[in-house]
Amino acid sequence: MTLRQAQGQAHPSKLTLDRLALGLADAETQAHAKSCAQCSAHLEKLAVLTGGPDFVHPSRLQLDRLALGSPDAATASHAASCAQCGAHLKAVQVDLPVPQWVRDVGTSRPAAWLRWLRPMVAVGAMALVAFAVVGYRPASGPDITAKGLGTPQVQVWVNHAGKATLWSGAALVPDDAFRFEVRPGPYRHLTILELQGDRLYRVLHSAPVPSDGLSPAWAVDADGAQEDVMLLLSNAPLSDDELRRALAGEGSLWSTRWRFQKELR
Amino acid sequence: MGESTVEAVYRRFFPVIREKCRSMLRDSDEAQDVAQETFIRLWKSGLDLEDPRRVSAWVYRTATHLSVDRIRRRAIGTEVTGVDADVEGVGTDARIHNRQLLERLASKIPQDELEVAILDRVDGLTQPESAEVLGISERTVRRMLTRLDARLAALKAEVHP
Ligand SMILES: [Zn+2]
Ligand SMILES: [Zn+2]
């Protein structure tokens, strides 16, 4: 009998609980035990027997950190008595033979292999940076085109070597990060696209405009000569059709396009 | 520890990177490809490799980002054919299910939300951990997950009216 059929009347079997305590993933039993004094007491007893303070598995990040040498006695003792977590620990601690490409990476000069890297914008790279909002100036700089109705304003903050300033239009270097500050006017929804060769490459962000007007931040990679980003304001999330029309320069959405030139060192 | 030749760094970190990529990408060549790229970036990053907390957060962020990039590129142009369940739950089966669902819907979900979704629903990270990995606040993580669920519900309604 499963819990679903029992409609919460029956407890899971002792065997089912024991298996859960030993690390067999079982969302239903876990959910039941969380709200059932009798079953959670049984699990707690088992957890004491198996040495773990908790019958819930540690996250894989905790396991990986343990494997990489971060001391964590609770996770270690859980993994010692849990087949599933033990197997993960073993998998991330195997001794791999070193393949040739690794030796090539070690000996080749950085500039040569930087070119292998594909386009990348890393989300969140500078979300922890505090931004002082200084006197507001309308967005300006080279290669910006705005179209559409209304009076929204957008400016770009650039974080270079840990220091955030308004973008001057200067070329960015790899690891610089940028984010938009938006005064949305009458609009409520912000969509940010990455373009390549005038075509949509991907939707970087689509969400209501936050109250502080700040978008996520993206870090610049070392690939290609520029980052080409389009920012769209609307009243609701955009349909595929609206996106297509905006990219074709049609429709009445408010948009700006930003091209950040890159300078590779 | 303490050895910093590329071989030593590989032996120490690559298995973690590889397993992380395998959990996100079902194609093993693709997983290996992304794992290599993540490793090369790590080697080049100048990160203090004696700090497992920072290195692991960096690896999770970078590998997730690169994988989502792959998944999205593959998904562009494919039709959404079925949204059969919510992206929730714990346990191995739920995680595989979640990964498959996110893969199918990748073209409909923005990059930043997909990254949070992978960490939360496929890797099973706690919200504080996801926030740490992505360098955003816990509140932002929660907000993005709420948005993701709303998006999934809308897609579901679209596919099964
Ligand atoms: Zn019970
Ligand atoms: Zn476990």
Tokens of A181: 């500050």
Are residues B64 and B13 part of one domain? yes
Q: Which of A64, A106, A123 lies nearest to residue B16, judging by beta carbons?
A: A64
Are residues B63 and B93 part of one domain? no
Domain around B103: 80-161
Are residues B44 and B12 part of one domain? yes
Contact A127 B60 (CB under 8 A): no
A262 by DSSP, 3-state: which?
A: strand
User: Is the pLDDT confidence value at B149 over 50?
Assistant: yes
Are residues B60 and B87 part of one domain? no
Are residues B122 and B55 part of one domain? no
Distance A84 CA to ligand 2 centre (A): 5
Q: Which ligand is nearest to the CA of A36?
A: 1
Contact A92 B66 (CB under 8 A): no
Are residues B68 and B7 part of one domain? yes
pLDDT in tens, A49-75: 444 434 578 899 999 999 999 999 989
Is this prediction's pTM over 0.95? Answer: no
Considering only CA atoms, which of A177, A67, A197 is closest in space to residue A122? A177
Q: Which of A63, A90, A116, A123 to mutate to test the interface with B (most CBs of B within 10 A)?
A: A123
CA B45-A96-B18 angle, to 5 degrees, is 55
Count the neighbouring beta carbons within 10 Å of the beta carbon of residue A8: 10
Average pLDDT, chain B: 83
ipTM of the complex: 0.87
CATH number at residue B5: 1.10.1740
Overall number of domains in chain B: 2
Q: How far A88 CA lies from chain B's nearest CA (Å)?
A: 9
Considering only CA atoms, which of A6, A10, A64 is closest in space to residue A36? A10
Are residues B119 and B66 part of one domain? no
How far, in Å, CA of B135 to CA of A216, rounded? 10
Are residues B158 and B88 part of one domain? yes
How far, in Å, CA of A55 to CA of A240, rounded? 45
Where among B23, B53, B75 does a domain terminate? B75
Q: Which ligand is nearest to the CA of A75?
A: 2
Q: Which of B44, B111, B137 lies nearest to residue A203, judging by beta carbons?
A: B111
Are residues B14 and B29 part of one domain? yes
How far, in Å, CA of B84 to CA of A232, rounded? 31
Phi, psi of A194 (to 5 degrees): -105, 130
CATH number at residue B132: 1.10.10.10
User: Is the pLDDT confidence value at B57 over 90?
Assistant: yes
Contact A203 B66 (CB under 8 A): no
pLDDT in tens, B65-95: 999 988 887 766 555 455 454 444 445 667 7
Q: What is the pLDDT, as a whole number, of residue A23?
A: 61
Which chain A residues touch B14 with a CB distance below 8 Å? 96, 102
pLDDT in tens, B117-137: 999 888 888 899 999 999 889
Where among B58, B75, B92 does a domain terminate? B75
Considering only CA atoms, which of B47, B135, B60 is closest in space to residue A217? B135
Q: How far B68 CA lies from chain A's nearest CA (Å)?
A: 11
How far, in Å, CA of A177 to CA of A160, rounded? 7
Q: Is B118 on the interface with A (CB under 8 A)?
A: no
Low-confidence ranges of chain A (pLDDT < 70): 1-9, 15, 19, 21-25, 44-55, 106-150, 162, 223, 265
Tokens of A231: 């920012």
Where among B46, B75, B104 does a domain terminate? B75
